[in-house]
Amino acid sequence: MSKGDNQSVAVSTQAEMAGLVGRYDHALDPKKRFTIPSEWRKVMGNPEFVYAMPDPQERCVDIIPALEMKARLDRLREKALFDPALKPVLDKIGAISEMLPLDVQGRIRVSDKLLRFANLTTTVAMLGAVRMFKLWDPAALAPADEVDQAGLREALALAGF
């Protein structure tokens, strides 16, 4: 293995261990696309596509990396194909989710329905949520340069971090 190979293995391992963290604000272009930051694309394994779905608890859109969605769907696939308790879950996930291809510049286009749901009109605030990221209307969030220490303390306590 050459020195270059060792470096690519190290980067791959770092990307696998990393999470989607931070905040990025981007304007929607005229076609209502925005660019996923290159750091996040690397952490996600430079995917060809991601999944989008409305957040079930907040007025934002969840962007789920393909590998994360695969892991979740694999758990569902372990259940019986025609399990009557599972059918409404799969129907709802399938109907409300979108599979979004990334173009060569790392841009995606979320449907108008999901943009309306999250009130995303001109600018998108992308907030890392470790295993996924969320699209928010920047006006619905605290300014990017503020630190919510009390909220952080509470979140870390809940997670046992």
pLDDT at 120: 97
What whole-number distance in Å separates Cα of residue 147 and Cα of residue 106?
A: 29
Q: Where are the beta strands (DSSP E) in the chain?
A: 23-27, 33-35, 49-54, 61-65, 98-101, 107-109, 123-128, 133-136
Pick the CATH number of 19-139 from 3.30.70.150, 2.160.10.10, 3.40.1550.20, 1.20.1260.120: 3.40.1550.20
Report residue 30 as tokens.
Answer: 């005229």
What is the signed CA dihedral for 147, 140, 159, 15, rounded to 10 degrees? -80
pLDDT at 119: 97
Dihedrals phi, psi of 8, to nearest 5 degrees = -70, -35
pLDDT at 16: 54
pLDDT at 4: 47
pLDDT at 47: 95
What whole-number distance in Å separates Cα of residue 44 and Cα of residue 119?
A: 26
pLDDT tens over the chain, length 161 residues: 444 444 444 444 444 557 999 999 999 999 999 999 999 999 999 999 999 999 999 999 999 999 999 998 888 777 767 778 888 888 888 899 999 999 999 999 999 999 999 999 999 999 999 999 999 999 998 887 788 888 888 888 988 88
Q: pTM for the whole thing?
A: 0.82
pLDDT at 17: 55
Dihedrals phi, psi of 98, to nearest 5 degrees = -130, 140
Is residue 109 within 8 A of residue 29, CB to CB? The reply is no
pLDDT at 129: 93
Domain boundaries, the chain: 19-139
